[in-house]
Amino acid sequence: MRTPIDKIALLLVIIGALNWLLVGLFQYDLVAGIFGVATLGASIVYSIIGIAGLYCISLLFRDVPVVD
pLDDT given for residue 49 in this prediction: 96
**Residue 43, in any domain of the structure:** yes
Number of separate domains in the chain: 1
**Residue 28, in any domain of the structure:** yes
**Residue 37, in any domain of the structure:** yes
pTM: 0.83
Determine the Cα–Cα distance for residues 19 and 3; give it in Å rounded to an integer: 25
**Residue 21, in any domain of the structure:** yes
| φ/ψ bin of 63: left (φ > 0), alpha (ψ from -120 to 50), beta (otherwise) | beta
pLDDT given for residue 41 in this prediction: 92
**Residue 12, in any domain of the structure:** yes
Per-residue pLDDT of the chain (68 residues; tens, 9 = 90+): 788 999 999 999 999 999 999 999 999 999 999 998 889 999 999 999 999 999 999 999 988 777 77
**Residue 64, in any domain of the structure:** no
Domain boundaries, position 21? 4-59
**Residue 15, in any domain of the structure:** yes
**Residue 66, in any domain of the structure:** no
